[in-house]
């Protein structure tokens, strides 16, 4: 422990290198904020609230601005506003045990906080899925009712462990039929119609964006890692709300060029020779405490892979017919890495551990995201057994700083680093 | 010769014992989504897993943290201890606990038959179509595993029995607002109906209706309440309500009125009948929409005069915790007296909770 602490102390000066184009993230962000202003100004333009795993491309196809309560909740957390918004929602009756994204959003809407602090305005429609969790639809329905706005929900069947191909086909049929229901819903409430030409154009761009992100991830397999979870957690923003538009593609191209440049020189995000431990981070980051990921560098640890941001880059491709395209998209919605069933999760985690040459895994057991936290004990056990590397389960919360205990987390992280060190020596 | 004869008897005893235990097919259902009639038509006894509040959740806590629904953890504890007594286990999609916990059960709970029934959340035409597919998939799986034929006739017969039970429960439970029926008696009746063989339940319900009818009139010192929120699965909590002067005369729980509020319609195709029934029963918080849930509450409150509404959710039961805000606000806006509380999964009387309830009842008496 002393040795680790000593190396930790020596490492206090270690800083992650930021990619030259990282600061360009402001352009897609400003574009998105500017677009919202335009969409709200022009009466024929429409806006929607959407959630993670919802095919955002559909909104761009229909020329509907996709606002994103979860994204705005992370902004509120990063701007140190989430706690007061959560407490405001709790004062309205929402239990302390409920999702902190939801409560941040409820608080933000009710207090009419500024957009730059995580505020959000009333949309024309609310659309969501239950692909990730029940919370999404409960929360969105409550807010749609509150705002008196039409509500649509995609009911995504669950691909539990062992789901066979035949069952999967039935599940896909159900989702595809709901695409047509969504088209009817949008036409009824916004007057907008599906344009097949635009569908393919948007999907092409979405595919290009996802492709670039996946290529970035390919380069993250390099040792040392050129790009850490500390940076991807912000940089993946275009995948959240901009799949299908050009601006995010330009940003990712520049990021990829920076990464290629680094890897060609054999350099990584950490100063030369400092990368000791390559770690996977599973779950949503602590948005109110993003420094956590940077602080890992003090121990020589880098987040070399995280399924969370990877989940946002499914390859939604154009197929021969619209029906086939929708089937393909339906399949992808049901197969998002963030919502993998336990068997798929173990299989993929073990694959990623090999591919990214990982020394340890941190599982964020998120009190605000029970679906993602279920099965973590089995996941940890399987990784330890099959891959022989340490796994740390950190119980905390993504948006509620009250769950974060600095010293307790530090102690546990230091123990984890020790284990990785001992494991390397074996 | 004597030894052989005794050995044969032992083997016979063992198998008869095993067969009688294997007759129960357990199901994990966070509301009332499991089409029980299909299980009955397969010739096995549907048994709703409800856990045991008196037993520690330590066995389940090896796999699930303490911030997961304690009822679902108790079900896992029950599964770990008793799955060998069951012919199999079926999960019906309810809240998030079902699909995520299915994966954990698949690893740790030994069972010869495990099935996931994907009950859709919606009522659209797409959902109706999907429901049929899921019913067929369940039937095929049961037929193949148990080597039985689940005919339309058998399903119709099961529907008939199911409706008989529902009708009897309607009659029985209507007596709650007229007679002196302790809260625990009502819950015990519900639990019996969801865990025991249907034929036994039918005979028992007949005698119970007679017995409840013979009881004294509704006690003058008690307040009539509607109970809403998470399912209550242990009688001790109902005793606490009685101790506070509260009598539950209506509810919208799945271990309660949701189970018998409506009957399975008579249709040519029994699968259509099941689909129509299960997709149209009063909504729990795990199914959209909140308005539909409210509609049943308004109907119940219109039919039965109550003094107040007791809304509660089990700690970490997210769907009902979400609903409690808009549902209670809507009820209050209509002028109903509503109290909301969160309860632990424990048979021990919670005095803080009892104090709140007693204060609420006293406040009502004061207002009168």
B317 part of a folded domain: no
pLDDT digits 0-9 by tens, B193-214: 999 999 899 999 999 999 999 9
How close does chain B come to A151, measured CA to CA in Å?
10
List of chain B residues whose C-beta atoms are within 8 Å of the C-beta of residue A367: 67
B219 part of a folded domain: no
Question: Cβ A155–B134 below 8 Å, yes or no?
Answer: no
Size of interface A-B (CB pairs under 8 A): 151
In the predicted model, is pLDDT for residue B368 greater than 80?
no
pLDDT digits 0-9 by tens, A258-311: 999 999 999 999 999 999 999 999 999 999 999 999 999 999 999 999 999 999
Tokens (6 digits) for A278: 């390559």
Question: Cβ B124–A93 below 8 Å, yes or no?
Answer: no
Of B347, B251, B340, residue with least CA distance to B299: B251
What CA–CA distance (Å, rounded) separates A210 from A317? 10
Answer for the pair A118, A80: CB distance below 8 angstroms, yes or no: no
How close does chain B come to A317, measured CA to CA in Å?
24
Q: What is the rounded average pLDDT of the residues A366-389?
A: 97
- The pLDDT confidence band at residue A3, using thresholds 50, 70 and 90, is very low
| A381 part of contact set with chain B, CB < 8 Å | no
3-state secondary structure of A236: coil
* Separation of CA B311 from chain center: 17
Report pLDDT for B96: 84
B365 part of a folded domain: no
How close does chain B come to A137, measured CA to CA in Å?
9
Q: What is the rounded average pLDDT of the residues A138-161?
A: 97
Report pLDDT for B136: 98
Question: Cβ A374–B100 below 8 Å, yes or no?
Answer: yes
Question: Cβ A92–B325 below 8 Å, yes or no?
Answer: yes
Q: What is the rounded average pLDDT of the residues A55-78?
A: 96
B134 part of a folded domain: yes
List of chain B residues whose C-beta atoms are within 8 Å of the C-beta of residue A365: 65
3-state secondary structure of B225: strand
pLDDT digits 0-9 by tens, A210-259: 999 999 999 999 999 999 999 999 999 999 999 999 999 999 999 999 99
Q: How many domains does chain B have?
A: 1
Report pLDDT for B18: 43
Residues sharing a CB contact under 8 Å with residue B350, sequence separation 6 or more, in sequence order: B240, B343, B344
- Smallest Cβ–Cβ distance between B103 and the set A135, A161, A173 belongs to A161
In the predicted model, is pLDDT for residue B361 greater than 90?
yes
Report pLDDT for A6: 47
- Torsion, Cα of A364, A365, A366, A372 (10° steps): 100
In the predicted model, is pLDDT for residue A406 greater than 90?
yes
- Smallest Cβ–Cβ distance between A374 and the set B68, B91, B121 belongs to B68
Q: Cα-flanking dihedrals φ and ψ of residue A355, to 5°?
A: -60, -40
- Smallest Cβ–Cβ distance between B342 and the set A95, A134, A158 belongs to A95
- Smallest Cβ–Cβ distance between B64 and the set A142, A181, A374 belongs to A374
Answer for the pair A356, A220: CB distance below 8 angstroms, yes or no: yes
Question: Cβ B100–A142 below 8 Å, yes or no?
Answer: no
Question: Cβ A174–B126 below 8 Å, yes or no?
Answer: yes
Interface of A with B in 351-370 (CB under 8 A): 365, 367, 370
Its pTM stands at 0.94
Question: Cβ B102–A161 below 8 Å, yes or no?
Answer: yes
List of chain B residues whose C-beta atoms are within 8 Å of the C-beta of residue A92: 325
Q: What is the rounded average pLDDT of the residues B349-364?
A: 94
- Domain of B128, CATH number, reads 3.40.50.11890
* Separation of CA A164 from chain center: 27
pLDDT digits 0-9 by tens, B72-101: 999 999 999 999 999 999 999 999 878 889
How close does chain A come to B106, measured CA to CA in Å?
8
| A148 part of contact set with chain B, CB < 8 Å | no
B115 part of a folded domain: yes
Question: Cβ A178–B124 below 8 Å, yes or no?
Answer: yes
Tokens (6 digits) for A415: 């123990």
- pLDDT > 70 in chain A, percent: 97
In the predicted model, is pLDDT for residue B293 greater than 60?
yes
**Structural domain range at position B124:** 22-152
Answer for the pair A341, A131: CB distance below 8 angstroms, yes or no: no
pLDDT digits 0-9 by tens, B109-152: 999 999 999 999 999 999 999 999 999 999 999 999 999 999 99
- The pLDDT confidence band at residue B16, using thresholds 50, 70 and 90, is very low
Domain range summary for chain A, segments of one domain joined by +: 2-425
The ipTM assigned to this model is: 0.94
Q: What is the rounded average pLDDT of the residues A72-98?
A: 98
Answer for the pair A361, A353: CB distance below 8 angstroms, yes or no: yes
Question: Cβ B130–A170 below 8 Å, yes or no?
Answer: yes
Mutation test of the interface with chain B: which of A163, A174, A339, A377, choosing the one with the most B Cβ atoms within 10 A? A174
pLDDT digits 0-9 by tens, A45-54: 999 999 999 9
pLDDT digits 0-9 by tens, B149-170: 999 999 999 999 999 999 999 9
How close does chain A come to B303, measured CA to CA in Å?
26
Answer for the pair A59, A50: CB distance below 8 angstroms, yes or no: yes
- The pLDDT confidence band at residue A64, using thresholds 50, 70 and 90, is very high
Beta strands A277-282 and B24-29 are unpaired
How close does chain A come to B99, measured CA to CA in Å?
6
């Amino acid at each position: 422990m002393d040795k680790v602490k000593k190396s930790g102390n020596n490492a206090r000066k270690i800083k992650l290198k930021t990619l030259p184009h990282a600061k360009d993230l402001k352009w897609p962000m400003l574009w998105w904020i500017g677009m919202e202003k335009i969409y709200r100004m022009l009466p024929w333009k429409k806006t929607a609230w959407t959630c993670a795993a919802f095919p955002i491309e559909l909104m761009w196809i229909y020329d509907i601005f996709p606002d994103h309560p979860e994204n705005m909740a992370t902004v509120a957390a990063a701007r140190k506003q989430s706690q007061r918004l959560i407490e405001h929602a709790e004062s309205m009756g929402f239990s302390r045990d409920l999702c902190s994204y939801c409560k941040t959003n409820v608080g933000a809407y009710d207090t009419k906080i500024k957009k730059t602090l995580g505020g959000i305005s009333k949309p024309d429609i609310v659309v969501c899925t239950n692909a990730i969790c029940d919370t999404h639809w409960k929360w969105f329905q409550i807010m749609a009712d509150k705002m008196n706005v039409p509500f649509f929900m995609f009911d995504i069947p669950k691909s539990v462990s062992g789901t066979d191909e035949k069952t999967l086909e039935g599940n896909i049929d159900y989702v595809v039929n709901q695409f047509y229901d969504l088209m009817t819903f949008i036409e009824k409430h916004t007057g907008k119609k599906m344009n097949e030409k635009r569908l393919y154009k948007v999907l092409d761009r979405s595919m290009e964006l996802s492709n670039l992100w996946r290529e970035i991830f390919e380069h993250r397999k390099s040792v040392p890692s050129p790009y850490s979870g500390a940076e991807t957690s912000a940089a993946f923003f275009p995948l959240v709300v901009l799949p299908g538009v050009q601006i995010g593609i330009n940003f990712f191209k520049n990021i990829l060029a920076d990464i290629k440049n680094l890897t060609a020189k054999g350099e990584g995000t950490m100063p030369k020779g400092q990368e000791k431990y390559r770690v996977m981070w599973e779950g949503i980051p602590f948005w109110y405490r993003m420094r956590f990921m940077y602080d890992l560098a003090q121990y020589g640890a880098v987040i070399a892979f995280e399924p969370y941001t990877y989940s946002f880059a499914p390859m939604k491709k154009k197929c021969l017919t619209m029906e086939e395209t929708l089937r393909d998209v339906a399949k992808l919605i049901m197969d998002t890495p963030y919502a993998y069933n336990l068997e798929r999760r173990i299989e993929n985690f073990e694959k990623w551990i090999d591919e990214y040459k990982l020394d340890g895994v941190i599982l964020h057991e998120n009190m605000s995201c029970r679906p993602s936290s279920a099965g973590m004990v089995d996941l940890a056990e399987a990784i330890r057994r099959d891959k022989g590397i340490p796994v740390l389960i950190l119980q905390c919360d993504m948006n509620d700083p009250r769950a974060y205990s600095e010293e307790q987390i530090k102690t546990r992280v230091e123990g984890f680093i020790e284990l990785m060190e001992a494991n390397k020596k074996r | 010769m004597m030894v052989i004869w005794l050995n044969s008897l032992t083997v016979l005893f063992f198998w008869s014992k095993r067969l009688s235990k294997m007759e129960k097919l357990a199901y994990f259902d966070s509301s009332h989504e499991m089409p029980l009639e299909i299980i009955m038509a397969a010739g096995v006894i549907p048994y709703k897993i409800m856990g045991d509040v008196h037993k520690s959740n330590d066995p389940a806590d090896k796999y699930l943290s303490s911030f997961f629904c304690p009822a679902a953890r108790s079900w896992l504890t029950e599964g770990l201890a008793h799955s060998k007594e069951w012919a199999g286990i079926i999960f019906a999609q309810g809240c998030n606990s079902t699909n995520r916990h299915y994966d954990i059960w698949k690893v740790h709970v030994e069972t010869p038959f495990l099935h996931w029934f994907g009950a859709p959340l919606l009522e659209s035409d797409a959902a109706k179509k999907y429901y049929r597919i899921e019913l067929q998939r369940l039937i095929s799986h049961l037929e193949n595993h148990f080597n039985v034929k689940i005919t339309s006739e058998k399903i119709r017969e099961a529907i008939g029995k199911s409706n008989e039970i529902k009708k009897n429960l309607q009659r029985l439970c209507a007596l709650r607002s007229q007679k002196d029926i302790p809260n625990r008696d009502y819950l015990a009746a519900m639990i019996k109906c969801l865990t025991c063989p249907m034929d036994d339940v039918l005979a028992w319900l007949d005698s119970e209706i007679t017995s409840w009818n013979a009881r004294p009139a509704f006690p003058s010192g008690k307040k009539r309440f509607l109970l809403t929120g998470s399912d209550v699965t242990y009688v001790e909590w109902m005793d606490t309500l009685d101790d506070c002067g509260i009598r539950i005369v209506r509810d919208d729980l799945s271990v309660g009125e949701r189970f018998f509020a409506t009957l399975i319609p008579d249709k040519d195709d029994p699968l259509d009948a099941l689909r129509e029934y299960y997709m149209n029963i009063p909504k729990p918080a795990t199914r959209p929409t909140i308005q539909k849930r409210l509609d049943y509450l308004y109907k119940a409150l219109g039919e039965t005069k109550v003094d107040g509404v007791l809304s509660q959710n089990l700690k970490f039961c997210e769907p009902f915790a979400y609903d409690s805000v808009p549902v209670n606000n809507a009820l209050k806006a209509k002028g109903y007296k509503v109290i909301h509380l969160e309860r632990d999964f424990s048979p021990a009387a919670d005095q803080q909770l009892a104090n709140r309830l007693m204060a609420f009842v006293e406040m009502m008496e004061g207002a009168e």
